[in-house]
Chains A and B, each alone.
Chain A
Amino acid sequence: MQLIQLLIDGIASGCIYGLVALGFVLIYKATETINFAQGDILMLGAFVAYSLIGILGMDYLTGFALTVLIIAVFGFFLDAVVVRQIIGQPAFATVMLTIGLGFIFRGFASIYWGTDIFSFSTPFSGKITEFNGLIISYVNLSIIIGTAVLMSALYFFFTFSKIGVAMRASSENQLAAYYMGIPVKFIFSLIWSISAGVAAVAGVLLAPITLVDTSISLIGLKAFAAAVLGGFGSIPGAIVGGIIIGIVEQLCGTYENYLFEGVREISAYLVLILTLIIYPRGLFSDKAEVKKV
């Protein structure tokens, strides 16, 4: 029973990793750049939600939707104004640029909102349900359901909508997509905006658990483990990888005595390194195999 309880907690935190990893994957698939600021965008999402719901006193759902919208627009212009300028530069430049952006966001958040720890009330806070002796908190439930809804929405978007298909085409082959009349630049910015929006969703869902402060941006680094485990470039892989990381972290935390002290904090990074050494393709990778020397 304890094991199942652990699994549920693991899945819930894993969904957050998965959502952040999803943001990496979307951007990587399309533009072959990695956004090291994904975790910081998540943090901005949580802070904006705090402003709207906690300070302005908006209704939870309205505030949620508005937050996602604001961050998505922000992501759009982030690409259109800043990131697009370094297209074609070596990967190193993108890495440094997005790390720098992450620092700016974090600095901005701590200047604008302060370094205290904030929280805002949600309909789920503090409520739990019991099911066959399992204790499931509404917060965890909201995360799992939210992820599932978002995933299916994205699935339908990429499969059936015209823009979604255009996005897949641009990721597949930029030049061919451009010849077909797809506005590739606009599509890329749109992908950044979806990715930022997903991060905002993760941030708002996460807020009741970790509360809102600048340190939650570190989740972005753990989410790398999820993305790599799932095979960078696969959308279902990101979510599955995230869930695995979440479960591993919970298990390591509980059985710390049998392993070594402090294993929980670095378990995600250990999984990341092991994956890269043993099976760098990841679980769900499509044809894009990791180039090996």
Chain B
Amino acid sequence: MRFIFKTKYSQDINIAKHNGDRFWYSLLILIMVALPLVLDDFYLGEISYICILSIAGIGLMILSGYTGLASLGHAAFLGVGAYTHAFLLTNGIPFYASIPIVIIVSFLVGAAIGIPILRLTGMYLAIATLALGFIAEHVFIKWEHFTGGNRGLPVPQPEFLGMSFYDSVFFYYVCLVFLIAAMFAAINILRSPTGRAFVAIRDSEIAAQSLGVNLGLYKALSFAISGAFTGLAGALLAHYIGYLAPDIFNIFLSLTLLLLIVVGGMGSLHGTVFGAIFVGFLPQLIAICRDYLPSSIGSQPGLEPMLFGLILVFFILYEPLGIYGRWMKIKLFFELFPTYKRQTFKKQKVFTKSDRV
């Protein structure tokens, strides 16, 4: 077992805790950079999609995993990002200028939505975001001047640095760079006082408030930051799908994002990547399940939502910390071997917590 001897306070907020971290994450980045040498276009496309999902997942993780606010309408931010990006590109704004504008617009939309509804707590917030998701989908359909309505909106694929977005290797690198940048931004936000305030709000609003955290401000900030990340993911998603239709950004996409962070592991940035890999390969997984089930069940269209629900329920009940939590347990098992105790992660008995005052 590794013991980190801390001699400076600043070591507490180091991004890499020890040399092992530095080595493995550098290796991971090198492998990711080298991937186009081995994989063909199809798999590169899939991995680009997983990168996009991870960025969106980081956005939702900051809001739900770190600030403890549920959002059931996050597809709206993906939509805002995607439509803004497509609109700007159509009007001749270059790619490198469009992305910052998208991030700022999504940030502002997040703040504008966040400020009135974040005065609500718990389930009221979940309901309000659900309603907002529906309203946003409706706006995408009806605001034809901006979104093209039900006809859809083709996304221009501009040249950038002399390369085209049709080139899957180039698009893969763009997604990878944005994922790494988003990851760094998220890590840095979360180790700053702002991020600590988010976690404090998640763990106890009353305690956070008594320590001087301005709840309204930080909740709105969390919503806006989350919106900015998700909007960025939306802009990349626009390139990935190439043709925007309003029904892409429906409630099912919002719930898929929630599935992503629950399966990946609430409250961990690693979890967003694990969850994105899981969600990205979910369609293939379902296709495999279809082959193994008897054809009377396997060919049913209802199988997909059913598996979706089963996975969600299974993780909530039996693995609330998701894949990352399981990974931590396995790691701890080997670190402590042979003295690992089952009881370490035993579910504590808990009682109903009341929100009523």
Q: How many chain-B residues does the 8 Å CB contact rule pick out? A: 58
A209 cross-chain contacts in B, Cβ below 8 A? none
- Which A residues are within 8 Å of any B CB, using their own CB? 28, 31-32, 34, 82, 85-93, 95-97, 99-111, 115, 174, 214, 221, 224-225, 228, 232, 260-262, 265-266, 269-270, 272-273, 276-277, 280, 288, 290-293
What is the minimal beta-carbon distance from A28 to any residue of chain B, in angstroms? 8
Residues of B within 8 A of A (CB): 64, 68, 70, 72, 116-124, 126-128, 130-132, 134-135, 138, 141-142, 205, 215-216, 219, 255, 258, 262, 266, 297, 300-313, 316-317, 320, 350-357
Question: Are A91 and B126 within 8 A (Cβ)?
Answer: yes
B88: min CB distance to chain A, Å: 26
Q: Given the complex, which residues of A lie within 8 Å of B352, measured CB to CB? A: 31-32, 87-88, 174
Is the CB–CB distance between B134 and A221 below 8 Å? yes
- 26 residue pairs from A and B, CB less than 8 Å apart: A34-B123, A34-B126, A85-B317, A87-B351, A90-B68, A91-B126, A92-B266, A95-B123, A99-B72, A99-B258, A99-B309, A100-B310, A106-B302, A174-B352, A214-B302, A224-B130, A225-B131, A266-B134, A269-B135, A272-B127, A273-B128, A273-B132, A290-B120, A291-B355, A293-B118, A293-B216
Q: Give chain B residues whose Cβ lies under 8 Å from the Cβ of A28.
A: 123
Q: Are A106 and B313 in contact (CB under 8 A)?
A: no
* Contacting pair B300 A110 (CB below 8 A): yes
Determine the chain B residues whose CB is within 8 A of the CB of A88 once the complex forms.
Answer: 350-353
Q: A107 near B126 (CB under 8 angstroms)? A: no
Cα of A90 to Cα of B304 in the assembled complex, Å: 27
In the assembled complex, the Cα of A272 lies from the Cα of B353 at a distance in Å of 26
A93 touching B320, Cβ below 8 Å: yes
* Top 6 closest pairs, chain A to chain B, by CB: A107-B306, A103-B309, A88-B350, A110-B302, A100-B312, A104-B309
For A96, give its contact among B120, B312, B351 (CB under 8 Å). Answer: B312
Min C-beta distance of A173 to chain B, whole Å: 9
Which residue from chain A places its CB closest to the CB of B252 in the assembled complex? A103
Contact status of A106 and B305, CB under 8 A, knowing A32-B355, A34-B123, A221-B130? yes
Q: Would you call B302 and A108 a contact (CB within 8 A)?
A: yes
B142 touches A86 (CB 8 A): no
- Alpha-carbon distance A288/B301, docked complex (angstroms): 43
Q: Are B127 and A109 in contact (CB under 8 A)?
A: no
Query: In the assembly, what is the distance between CA of A107 and CA of B131, in Å?
Result: 23
Q: What's the Cα separation between A85 and B320 when bound, in Å?
A: 12
